[in-house]
Structure 1
Amino acid sequence: NLADGYIEKPFSLPVLKARIDALLQKQDIFEYKNVCVNFKSYTAKIDGKMIDINAKELEILKYLLDNAGIALSRAQILDHVWKESEDVPYDRVIDVYIKELRKKLGLDCITTIRNVGYKLEIS
């Protein structure tokens, strides 16, 4: 929400820093409908109940969230989520992870962009 970032003038640098820190901190928790994901503890809950989810699924979700509203290609997601030390899978593996995210967490906010990849849209 852009309004969350509004600060009236004049403001001090400590106030600005506190505001920026608060906005950055928000990205550690993702709440959508009855879903709550904590990216620091790598946990996900639906209606307060823990869901079995793997780290890669959450890293993909975090990357989509950090780029909300932007269509990301499978290659971009692979490049960001898989480290250089890991064997990079075939790009269609992203489809499997997205399918699992949608199934496990009921995330209808992840949309498929035909011939491109995926986008997270939160209205």
Structure 2
Amino acid sequence: MNDYRILVVDDEEDLCEILKFNLEMEGYQVDTANSAEEALKLDLPSYNLLLLDVMMGEISGFKMASMMKKNKDTAGIPIIFITAKDTENDTITGFNLGADDYISKPFSLREVIMRVKAVLRRTANVQTREQEQLQYRDLVIDIPKKKVTISGEEISLTKKEFEILLLLLQNQGRVFSREDILAKVWHDEVYVLDRTIDVNITRLRKKIGNYGKYIVTRLGYGYCFECE
């Protein structure tokens, strides 16, 4: 038994039990819920990962994920969507909501277990200490002091570069479109071009050296910080 707690949310009870059994065989602690309403009554911050079905009753998986991302206590919990919906638009919706992965039914249990292990391994690398520091390996963001260090050495970033790095690292694995970054970093400033974001990303990658490769371009979608 390991320390990872997983919540499976799906209105197919049989599927929940199959996933629970197989994940427990891998050593995870697993709970199940057959609706978003039921899941939202649980102690969500105690879970390390959610496997979340999209097509459920009144509250869909997408809606539940959106609710969680707006709550600071649950915003950082990784989510893997499991769904019969596999069109491109649904996939984009899932990732825009902060999904860490997306698996379409029918799927193999081996695939699910591999995806679960990959997401947990990836998200375990990023840790928030006392909500004041965000760290990935030896890259540390001191949020109150607006300071970034690598191996203890301070990196000189502009305000926008700092805010872009903080946004991406706080939401590692989530793809942000240029429009998202404009809204969150530039807010209501006028006459900001998409190209401005590309220039800032390029400068940021250069300044953080080897960590620049983790700021990944998803062609046609945007940017994300992708941990190994």
Q: TM-score, normalised by structure 1?
A: 0.71
Does the alignment pair 1:59 with 2:59?
no
Query: What CA RMSD, in Å, does the superposition of the two structures yield over aligned residues?
Result: 2.6
> Which of the numbers 99, 111, 114 marks the counterpart of 2:216?
111
Shift of 1:3: 4.0
Q: CA deviation at 1:34?
A: 2.8
Question: Of residues 74, 93, 96 in structure 1, which corresponds to 2:196?
Answer: 93
Q: Distance in 1 between matches of 2:160 and 2:133?
A: 16
Gaps of at least 5 residues in structure 2 are 6-44, 48-72, 74-126
Structure with larger RCO (C-alpha < 8 A, sep 6+): 1
State the TM-score, normalized to the length of structure 2.
Answer: 0.41
Q: Displacement of 1:73 after TM fit? A: 0.7
SS at match of 1:62: helix
**Shift in Å at residue 25 of structure 1?**
5.6
Corresponding residue of 1:71:
175
Name which one, 1 or 2, has greater alpha-carbon Rg.
2
Residue 80 (structure 1) aligns with:
184
Give the match for residue 152 of structure 2.
48
Identify which range, 104-113 or 28-37, moves more after superposition: 28-37
Structure 1 moving runs of 4+ over 6 Å: none
* Counterpart secondary structure, 1:31: strand
- After superposition, the Cα gap between the structure-2 partners of 1:67 and 1:32, relative to the gap in structure 1 and judged at 3 Å, is closer
Deviations 1:54-98 (A, max 9, x none): 1111111122123221211111100111132x3341011111111
Change (3 A) 1:3 1:105: farther
- The unaligned stretches of length 5 or more in structure 1 are 8-19
